[in-house]
Copies of this chain bind each other. A is one copy, B any other.
Amino acid sequence: MMPDATHPPARRAAALLGRMVLGAVLLGPILALLLHASSTHWFFPRLVPAEWTLAPLLRQLGDPRTRAALGASLLTAGITTGIALLLGLPAARVLGLRTFRGRSLVLLVLFLPNIVPPLAIGMGLNVLLLRLGLAGSIAGVVLVHLVPVVPYAILALLGVFARYDEGYELQARTLGANPCQVWLRVALPLLWPGLAVAALFAFLVSWSQYVLTLLVGGGQVITLPILLFAAVSGGNPTSIAGLALLFAAPPAVAIALAVRALAAAAGQPARGMS
């Protein structure tokens, strides 16, 4: 078979498509929000706002409620990410490196919580958490976030392990590396890019939870999406846009960085992950 799949025009077209989608998805909404947030008078049918000012945006950032919500969001997403990686690494290793008959089944089941309406799961879990006294606490919110986050972490890590060759570890062992050295000097450098992507995925999925946080947090755990949605109900467009920008900017930056890192890695010749 000839490698016509590596046709440069096709590759270039794919890269261009990627950039365009990336641009549209990341920059479009943020630009719109930025326009909203920095304007005071912007009504149909004007294409750009009549006046510009950063004052509303800065006012939003100075609000202690906003800062508290930012803290709660960072804390929840951070802890959730850490636990999800710890749980996901061994699971993804088994699922990615071994092939057994029920594998596709296990994967489907793993992913169910993301497919099954989160409302149904959230409410089912809420009954449990209420009885455990964890409802309304960060711990409870983290526990509930793990339900959709762990599958994402496993999914991201699966891709890494699908290309991971245990032979490197075997090789290192016979060269005299003890298990700890094998992990630090061989497995970690090989898995590093994939781990970073998985952490990013996990963080973002947790960061953007709204329904589950609301259900389990019961109005006591106020994360950014909760605050944002409250503002949406309130109806002040400038305040909404400010919060939305705050909410969307860190993920956008993180993703842009990850994409650049991945693109750089893709430019290098074959490594542990390509």
A103–B259 Cα distance when bound, in Å, is 12
**A205 at interface by CB-CB < 8 Å:** yes
Contact with B along A215-242 (1 / 0, CB 8 A): 1000000000100110010000000100
Q: Which residues of B contact A44 (CB under 8 A)?
A: 130-131
Known A-B contacts A6-B99, A44-B131; A259 and B105 likewise in contact (beta carbons under 8 Å): yes
The interface residues of chain B lying within 8 Å CB-to-CB of A121 are 25, 29
| A227 smallest CB distance to B (angstroms) | 11
B-chain residues with CB within 8 Å of residue A205 when the two chains form the complex: 115
Residue A197 interfacial (CB < 8 Å) = yes
Q: Are A102 and B11 in contact (CB under 8 A)?
A: yes
Chain B residues contacting A85 (CB-CB under 8 Å) are none
Q: Tell me the interface secondary structure of chain A in the complex.
A: helix
Instruction: Give the interface segment out of A48-56, A60-68, A179-187, A244-252.
Output: A244-252
Knowing A44-B131, A105-B266 touch, does A255 contact B197 (C-beta < 8 A)? Answer: no
A17-43, CB under 8 A of B: which get 1 and which 0?
110011001101110110010000000
Q: Assess whether A248 is in contact with B116, with CB atoms less than 8 Å apart.
A: yes
With A33-B123, A121-B25, A251-B115 as given contacts, are A197 and B108 in contact (CB-CB < 8 Å)? Answer: yes
Give the number of times this chain occurs in the complex, counting copies: 2
Q: Is the CB of B112 within 8 A of A26?
A: yes
Chain A residues packing against B (C-beta within 8 Å): 5-7, 10-11, 14-15, 17-18, 21-22, 25-26, 28-30, 32-33, 36, 44, 94, 97-106, 108-110, 112-113, 115-121, 123-125, 127-128, 130-131, 152, 159, 197, 201, 204-205, 207-208, 210-211, 215, 225, 228-229, 232, 240, 244, 247-248, 251-252, 255, 258-259, 262-263, 266-267, 274
B-side contacts of A108, CB under 8 Å: 197, 255, 258-259, 262
Q: Closest CB-CB distance, A259 to chain B, in whole Å? A: 6
Least CB separation from A193: chain B residue:
B104
List of B residues within 8 angstroms of A32 by Cβ:
123-124, 127-128
Among B104, B106, B210, B252, the residue within 8 A (CB) of A274 is B104
